[in-house]
Structure 1
Amino acid sequence: MACSDDGQVTRLPVHSSGHPSEVPVVALPARPDRTAIDPVLAQHEPRRVVVAGTDADLAAVLVRLLRTDRLAVEVAYLPSGPSAAATAWGLPSGAEAERLALTGTASSVPLVRDDGGGVLVGRAEIRDIDGECYCDNVLVLRGTARRLVVVAGPDGIAVRAGWTGRTPDGRVRAVAPRAPRGRGSALGRAVQVGCRPATVVSDGVAHPREVPRWTWYRHIENWLLVRPSTG
């Protein structure tokens, strides 16, 4: 089993035998689009795919599984470097990740989408934000913050507004509804932002233009992620 070099993502459709020598390896460009992924999915009809690359690569593959109605395909992830997604989902690295990819069991986990047409598998940020943010009905931000951090995970969507960019821990710290300003945190099914135009960075990739509003939300269907047993 091989991981990709910088700039490429390796997809390994895993069939029933699960033996590495019988696993087709397909090298694709970084953050592959429909023209790169869809023909491979159609050719192999995989039961499981293994994505070796970055969080952005994983998100790109997951988008195509969503768009082609293939969320029943199991997904394993071999991060090529530091990974917010691996941290959020409790995934290993190195040889342990390779073993898990071939022999591990997939479980149904929340799929987090955004209104820009993408998905979030790890961490998103809006820096130097000035506006409001709600997580479900909890006010998380009113006013300014150096970082608004949103993380996908097994319990839903966690968000935190603050100055350090610290990863949200899921605890609820609501801003008082009548407070003129404040910063807090929450965990829920949807995060809605309205602000002065700002740049959203999702899984390490900046949106191509500044936006005055943004939403992350839990999709009605889950995806199947190969991860260590939590039982």
Structure 2
Amino acid sequence: MRGVVLACGDAAGSLPPAGQVHVEPVPARPGKADVDPLLSPALVVAGTDADLAAVVLRLLRKDLLAETTVGYVPTDPRSAVASLWRLPTNPERAMRLALTGNDRPVPLIRDDVGGVLIGRGELPRVRGIAYCDDTVALRGEARSVVVRPSEVAAEGLVVTVTSGRLRRRRDVFTSRAFQLGCDPLVPISDGVPHPRPMDRWTWYRHTEDLRLVRPSS
């Protein structure tokens, strides 16, 4: 069983029993002072995708990704992370998997302002030029650009560009990096809007993967 359960925000009040594992309440989207004293080779994060991203960011900053397994108990049934990696959203099943399951590597996505992306990134109402590696993914306008980690080990990102005013068109790209120059917009990472508009944005695959506890198939 994993050593510490970080119950983020309101998660502590709704968690199923965690057996002998210690549960530590922490704030939503916990920061350095909340997470670092509790870091363990085996962690479980209970909360939202944004909470998970905040904890993983601390592992990245402390250079502990390779040494730490991370289980996840999503409190939002619409969790993009749970959907992508087929994690249960039922609290009891999710806790059981997080505590007793095996970790398997998944791509960790970073941005160029020091953040990480675990489940879903979105760029709404884009006007600009975007590249997936060396391929032009967008030149002009798009309703949205959605980025997520790829399930294929050799890839990093899956990028979906939705364009068209009357008839929607979706173009899907895979790459290790996505780069955008655009009219100012607010990127959204794991449900959290960036604090200010940006006219350039990059998401790219980190050199180390995240050791996420997830089903084997």
TM score, norm. by length of structure 1: 0.80
Residue 179 (structure 1) aligns with: none
The answer to whether the aligner puts 1:76 opposite 2:63 as a matched pair is: no
Cα distance in 2 for residues equivalent to 1:76 and 1:223: 11
**Retained in 1: the 8 A contact 2:7–2:24?**
no
Deviation, structure 1 residue 47: 2.4
* Cα 1:158/1:148, change in 2 over 3 Å: same
Q: Name the SS for the 2:22 alignment partner.
A: coil
Cα distance in 1 for residues equivalent to 2:84 and 2:143: 22
- Describe the superposition over 1:182-225 as per-residue Cα deviations: whole angstroms up to 9, x where unpaired: 97320111111110111100000000010111111111111100
Deviation, structure 1 residue 67: 0.5
Q: Number of matched residues? A: 200
Q: What are the ranges of 5 or more consecutive residues in structure 1 without an aligned counterpart?
A: 11-18, 165-181
* Cα 1:65/1:4, change in 2 over 3 Å: closer
1:114 to 111, 124, 133: 111
1:50 to 44, 49, 58: 44
**Retained in 2: the 8 A contact 1:140–1:161?**
yes
Residue 57 (structure 2) aligns with: 63
- Describe the superposition over 1:44-72 as per-residue Cα deviations: whole angstroms up to 9, x where unpaired: xx221111100000000000011111112
Cα distance in 2 for residues equivalent to 1:183 and 1:55: 25
- Describe the superposition over 1:149-203 as per-residue Cα deviations: whole angstroms up to 9, x where unpaired: 1112332211111159xxxxxxxxxxxxxxxxx9732011111111011110000
**Retained in 1: the 8 A contact 2:108–2:208?**
yes
**Retained in 1: the 8 A contact 2:7–2:23?**
no
Q: What are the ranges of 5 or more consecutive residues in structure 2 without an aligned counterpart?
A: none
1:192 to 158, 173, 179: 179
Cα distance in 2 for residues equivalent to 1:4 and 1:26: 6
**Alignment root-mean-square deviation, CA:** 2.2
